[in-house]
Amino acid sequence: MAVTYAGAMRILLLVACIPAIALAGQIFTRDGVTDGDTFYLAPHAHVDDDPVLQSWVAYSLSRSTCQLEMGGENPARNSSYGCELTARRHLLEAWDAQRDEHAGASDEYLDTLLRVRDAGFLDEYTVRYFGRKHWQVPAEVDLPAFKRWRKQHLKGHRPQSRLIGSWNYRTD
């Protein structure tokens, strides 16, 4: 399924409104950035109601929509502080909703990220673990405070990004 900017916005609404109907499959992940101008949502994301998967679908759609909004020849390679932070906020909003809907849902990474957010360090976390040199980061992002908090609360932590889909070139 190809997703353009308008299509991504519709899918974001669709994902929020229509529950998935089956529980099966694995999370499709992509490390790094692939080339392309169109984001394709993994087919199983439409039918698998796994709460972790659906939370990462929200992240993937939010991030790819932002990258498409940035434009350029290759939106897959776009990266900004705002895109990553917004996508992580959507990830956590979706995870909160999924945990409410699916009693007992648990995921070590997502639960840890909730603790980061609740401590007030989601901005700092995003910059520390996913930041790029070209990002424009607000002055109020307090990396020294996060470093102190991180040493106590995130020992051995490994950040994650899961794109539930992939970038490719539009064929039409």
CA distance 58 to 62: 6
Alpha helices in the chain (DSSP H): 5-17, 51-70, 81-101, 108-118, 122-130, 143-153
In sequence order, the 6+-apart residues with CB closer than 8 A to the CB of 38 are 2, 3, 4, 167, 168, 169, 170
Domain boundaries of the chain, sorted by first residue: 2-107+163-168
What is the full per-residue pLDDT of the chain (172 aa) written as tens digits? Answer: 444 444 444 344 434 332 332 222 233 333 444 678 889 999 999 999 999 999 999 999 999 999 999 998 889 999 999 999 999 999 999 999 999 999 999 999 999 999 999 999 999 999 999 999 999 999 999 999 999 999 999 999 999 999 999 888 877 6
Are 98 and 105 in contact by the 8 Å Cβ rule? The answer is: yes
Residue type (1 letter), 116: V
Kind and range of the H or E element at 168? strand 165-168
Instruction: Reduce the DSSP state of residue 131 to 3 states and report it.
Output: coil
What is the DSSP code (8-state) at residue 113? H
Answering whether pTM is above 0.75, one says yes
Q: What is the pLDDT of residues 139-170, one digit of tens each?
A: 999 999 999 999 999 999 999 999 999 888 87
